[in-house]
Structure 1
């Protein structure tokens, strides 16, 4: 359940950051909040099973708004 809270918090934080990036009152602050910081990035691996071709890759590049969303989600989880 905690992992679900963290993932949803990260997604909602990222979405909120993208929505707030158009607000002119926050124009000086938003470039710092929505810049992504790549933590890791694996190149995609393709498995050809002759009927299905499966490509799997994983990248984690959070921005500060998604990290704030994770923190908020963890605080909500502790209250839950």
Structure 2
């Protein structure tokens, strides 16, 4: 079955990715707020989960460099939780 609660997996993945990105952006925006300076360092510290070093493929006409890193912070995890809650309501 390719459905999750009547909707496709693609929409769920889209919600999760957008939630993670918006949570990370919100954390970066709130990092410099004076009233939150005691707690924000803990919320925006990244945790390296997956880090693949960049690989370069040289095809003599095109040079392609590809790398991938997954380094979430607590604000992006909070964004994922909110995105899943919104997805279930959607």
Q: TM-score, normalised by structure 2?
A: 0.86
Structural RMSD (CA)? 0.6
1:59 to 2:80 alignment: no
Structure holding more strand per residue: 2
Alignment of 1:18-37 (within 5 A): 18-37=28-47
- Name the count of aligned residue pairs: 80
Q: Distance in 2 between matches of 1:78 and 1:50?
A: 49
- Structure 1's consecutive aligned runs of 4 or more residues displaced over 6 angstroms after TM superposition are none
Structure 1 residue matching 2:53: 3-state secondary structure = coil
Alignment of 1:1-80 (within 5 A): 1-80=11-90
Gaps of 5+ in 1: none
Q: CA deviation at 1:45?
A: 1.0
In terms of Rg, which structure is larger? 2
Q: TM-score, normalised by structure 1?
A: 0.96
